[in-house]
């Protein structure tokens, strides 16, 4: 399997097949980010396609500093920001996708319904957070990025990323579990 850097070198020499390999390798990542940002499947499909067109046109601007994945993630987030600033954007606040857990056959129906309700509550609460906190949480927990990578992508310090995570998770907990009631319930258990 060729490395990203080898594929990029081939793309710079005009190889379309190398670009196809990169698209296949990173399509799910880009689509996942865009879908979590937009909450709309069809918009996510369109924006994902636009991201890869942008990448194909601007691959020469990738300087090899950091990983290609980080650069692609940055391009994706900036493209989403451009979309949200556009005049045609109409944001839907409650459509972010959180991957459902694979159900164990021994789980009862009530627990499955409860988990579904929990996912919906988290999805809605996540969409209520400010963009900078939501993005930080999504990058850390859903995309598995490290604090340093998030800081580079968001062009801020690592301590700012940590602060956004801490504050965002606190707000998320309050929104999902009702804040103080959740804390009291947890301490009484």
157-176 pLDDT, tens digit per residue, is 999 999 999 999 999 888 88
- Model-level pTM? 0.58
- pLDDT tens, residue by residue, 61-85: 888 777 888 889 889 988 888 887 7
Q: Which residue has the higher pLDDT, 109 or 26?
A: 26
The whole-angstrom separation of Cα 140 and Cα 129 is 15
The more confidently predicted of residues 33 and 98 is 33
pLDDT band for position 60 (cuts 50, 70, 90): confident
Distance (Å, rounded) from C-alpha 147 to C-alpha 165? Answer: 10
Share of the chain above pLDDT 90, in %: 18
Average pLDDT over residues 111-140: 78
* Residues 6 or more apart in contact with residue 90 via CB below 8 angstroms: none
Q: What percent of the chain has pLDDT over 70?
A: 77
Per-residue CA distances from 156 to 132, 140, 159 (Å): 11, 15, 8
Q: In 10 A of CB 89, how many CB atoms? A: 11
CA distance 95 to 93: 6
The pLDDT of residue 113 is 58
48, 177, 74: which is closest to 135 by C-alpha?
Answer: 74
């Amino acid at each position: 399997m060729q490395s990203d850097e080898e594929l990029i070198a081939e793309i710079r020499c005009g190889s379309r097949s190398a670009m196809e390999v990169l698209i296949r390798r990173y399509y799910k990542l880009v689509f996942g980010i865009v879908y979590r940002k937009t909450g709309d499947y069809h918009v996510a499909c369109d924006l994902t396609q636009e991201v890869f067109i942008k990448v194909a046109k601007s691959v020469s601007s990738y300087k090899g500093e950091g990983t290609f994945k980080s650069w692609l993630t940055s391009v994706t987030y900036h493209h989403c920001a451009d979309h949200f600033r556009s005049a045609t954007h109409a944001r839907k606040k409650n459509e972010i996708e959180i991957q459902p857990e694979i159900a164990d056959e021994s789980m009862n129906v009530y627990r499955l319904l409860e988990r579904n309700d929990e996912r919906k509550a988290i999805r809605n609460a996540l969409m209520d957070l400010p963009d900078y906190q939501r993005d930080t949480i999504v990058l850390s927990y859903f995309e598995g990025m490290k604090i340093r990578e998030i800081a580079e992508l968001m062009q801020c310090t690592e301590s700012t990323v940590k602060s956004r995570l801490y504050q965002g998770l606190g707000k998320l907990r309050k929104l999902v579990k009702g804040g103080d009631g959740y804390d009291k319930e947890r301490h009484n258990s």
